[in-house]
């Protein structure tokens, strides 16, 4: 029975290149800004839906960018703090 070695301890195995800390910070900040813009768009659609109650489907349309922005922001923060 052969022993398996971990990829990071195996000789000759290249790990994927890691980004420098400044590049990673820049990428995280740009993702967070994009996420914030999506949540602002979603909030504006929610506000529009409150003013136009004859279109209840606008709440679902507003929930899409808002939820996507929230997930993007959380994922970027998680990846940045778990390095």
pLDDT digits (tens, 9 = 90+) for 33-48: 999 999 999 999 999 9
- pTM to 2 decimal places: 0.68
| Whole-number pLDDT of residue 20 | 86
Distance (Å, whole) CA 7 – CA 11: 8
Return the structure tokens found at 5. 């070695």
Q: Are 36 and 69 in contact (CB under 8 A)?
A: yes
Determine what percent of the chain is predicted with pLDDT higher than 90. Answer: 46
| Whole-number pLDDT of residue 16 | 47
pLDDT digits (tens, 9 = 90+) for 62-76: 999 999 999 999 999
């Amino acid at each position: 029975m052969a022993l398996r070695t971990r990829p990071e301890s195996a000789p000759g195995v290249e790990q994927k290149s890691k980004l420098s800390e400044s590049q990673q910070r820049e990428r995280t900040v740009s993702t967070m800004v994009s996420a914030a813009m999506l949540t602002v768009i979603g909030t504006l659609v929610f506000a529009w839906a409150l003013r136009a109650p004859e279109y209840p489907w606008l709440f679902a349309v507003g929930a899409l960018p808002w939820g996507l922005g929230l997930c993007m922001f959380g994922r970027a923060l998680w990846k940045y703090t778990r390095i």
